[in-house]
Structure 1
């Protein structure tokens, strides 16, 4: 878990990390979050002279943000967990609940790589792939909380099976996990990962180049589908694969440019906030919640 104290303007005042722990049921994880939040509150009181006035929590899965419910999280095995109510009851402050990628996108859009951009798409390339659709300073969640799930665009209909039930989803081909699997097989080293593949590409290994360019080609296909639908002025790429820098961005920009026809080519830039984006975005959600309550 990553957590932070965030100022009204999105300034990162303090950050901390803690292992989630081995107990993975909702009650155990909520208790871990509460204990972590109590530490942050105490730190704020000691170092800044005041307590936190609201909390923002970002979690993976399908979120009903309006009602504060985690509807479904396959990697956690949770469904219909009323996280906002559980946390609000114990913390005694207003609580905002958000999707982890969308909160990261909110931060990148307001105070990161997309600052000042009216329309953007934030796509972190990690264990999976998701997206955050930025519109005029906010993130579009969709009618049911599913907006931005770009990782489940089918880009290779005869591709690998995906946990969602489809074949050839973008995240089965272009996520850090997908590159890790492909490079481990191509290199014959079961311990090799996506970062190793990027280093091998930089060293001129043709096997690595093939694995890397296959992933880049699939990613470009998914991104062009997304920009055809959304027409963003900027594509912000984050996550582990983006840490490869121009090893990723040079071929990716070329592959997207080659695929576009009538579409306007967006700026393709790396994310600016790294793995603090989720914490900062959760803090922004909390401030937005307070502003909404005051205006109401």
Structure 2
């Protein structure tokens, strides 16, 4: 079965056997604002995986496809309701993919799928309650409560569009000052370049570690914004494990330690763990294969 994760910058895909063991993986660039063309993007990813398998002498039958995307996703209907960054609205993704593959198809939210994978295979394994927050092109979250990923409505987990800086930078959704426009990896990279510096969020994190005052100011403002949103979620759900993923997680202790310290201060207790997600950029694709397996059960 195949699992495809369409991200803001890259399309990650994996081909797994019936036991869930990964046989092949593939990464490609995401076309700019693909809109409804995301269907072709997913088909191309699966086709590439099958070609890799055949070239290796494996000629099995595709059993199911799992596809996960960002934005608002109605998992009950398999509809990709809206993506601010990738340009679709009310896309009947599951039906369109079924017509192309003629196998069971599961459609899910990329971050919820990532947490599902972390729960079964990664840093949340054996942890009943966790919050997963990937910090990449955008920001969203997924909540694990009593061992189950919370699905809720299509708006569940969309913390990236909470306003944290009224009148602040323009967000992909059209509003100003959203968390995503202030604290995502892409937003921090833009803010760094607006200071006349070269590089991206990774360059910024290195400058923070080196003690650059301007870098530290941007970094601390982003952490404060994250805490203002993450803190109440942890308090309401009683969450004690926060998994940070996405490109910004690669900064390690430069991000994780001050984020935990400020969460401790906000929550009023030190029973909170902030750690890096274990599966990296494969989490969504691995979660998509788990959804595909469920679709065949």
TM norm. shorter chain > 0.5: yes
- Taking the TM superposition and a 5 Å limit, the aligned residue runs for 1:49-88 are 50-88=60-98
SS of 1:252's equivalent?
Answer: helix
Matched, 1:126 2:133: no
Distance 1:18 1:86 in 2: 21
The residue number in structure 2 matching 1:287 is: 293
Show CA shifts across 1:63-83 (max 9, x none): 121111111222232222211
Give the corresponding residue for 1:294. Answer: none
Judge which range, 220-229 or 162-171, deviates more.
162-171
What are the residue-to-residue correspondences of 1:1-296 with 2, within 5 Å? Answer: 1-21=11-31, 24-26=34-36, 28-44=37-53, 47-48=57-58, 50-142=60-152, 144-157=153-166, 159-164=168-173, 167-186=176-195, 188-189=196-197, 191-261=198-268, 265-291=271-297
Please list every run of 5 or more consecutive structure 2 residues that lacks an aligned counterpart in the other structure: 1-10
Q: Deviations over 1:113-170 (max 9, x none)?
A: 101111111000112210011234442121x311111222333446445444655332
- Work out the number of aligned pairs and report it: 286
Counterpart CA distance in 2 for 1:60 and 1:106 is 15
Q: Secondary structure at the match of 1:237?
A: strand
SS at match of 2:81: strand
- Secondary structure of 1:113's partner? coil
Q: Distance in 2 between matches of 1:18 and 1:163?
A: 22
Q: In structure 2, how many angstroms separate the alpha carbons of the residues matched to 1:8 and 1:232?
A: 33
SS state at 2:117 partner: helix
Separation in 2, partners of 1:169, 1:264: 28
The question of whether the paired residues in 1 share the 8 Å contact of 2:33 and 2:86 is answered with: no
CA contact (8 A) 2:80 2:93 kept: yes
Change (3 A) 1:203 1:19: closer
Aligned equivalents of 1:122 and 1:274: distance in 2?
12
TM-score w.r.t. length of structure 1: 0.87
8 A contact 1:238–1:270 mirrored in 2: yes
Return the alpha-carbon distance in structure 2 between the equivalents of residues 290 and 264 of structure 1: 42
More deviation, 169-178/36-45: 36-45
8 Å CA contact 1:10, 1:284 repeated in 2: yes
Over 3 Å counting, the alpha-carbon distance change for 1:22 and 1:239 in structure 2 is closer
Q: State the TM-score, normalizing by the size of structure 2.
A: 0.87
Secondary structure of 1:58's partner? strand
